[in-house]
Amino acid sequence: MKISKLYKPPNSIYPGEYVPSVNEEEIKKLVSKTHKKKINHPPVNITELADLFKIEIAIPGMKREEFLVQATENVLQVYAVHKDRGFNGHGNPKQKEFNYECCHSEITLPENVDTEFISAEYKAGILRLFIPKAKHFRKNLRANIIVY
């Protein structure tokens, strides 16, 4: 996979720049090529709080640049792709039970969410998404979410 262009979101409240290691076309192409048995669907926890929904997805061993998170209307799609790192290049694995080469989750959100202001962070193998509630449903809203 080639590294995408440097991305600095306009009017970002976060300092620094973001260099995604994959782009949307590459991820969707890989997911469509990958056999359905090889795509990992990681476990998801969804918690409703007074003013937001918190979604936690367990995907260990990733880097924040390896995620593509998109929201289109009330559907949240999370892709995670990285090349197989094996055992850090040392020797041949004799047993390999976990593989997070290609992960995909699609979550249908309730209509009362504001997908424009979703925030995401990745710490200790857990991707956390914070989705604020909205008073009104807005159609045709699409957002790319940066993982911090």
43/78 Cα distance (integer angstroms): 12
pLDDT tens for 44-64 read 999 999 999 999 999 888 888
pTM, 2 dp: 0.74
9/31 Cα distance (integer angstroms): 26
Per the domain annotation, does 74 fall within a domain?
yes
Is the Cα dihedral 40, 45, 48, 49 positive or negative?
negative
pLDDT tens for 16-30 read 555 566 677 777 777
Per the domain annotation, does 68 fall within a domain?
yes
Per the domain annotation, does 93 fall within a domain?
no
113/138 Cα distance (integer angstroms): 9
Structure tokens belonging to residue 51: 């003013």
Residue range of the domain that includes 77: 62-84+139-148
Residue type, 50: A
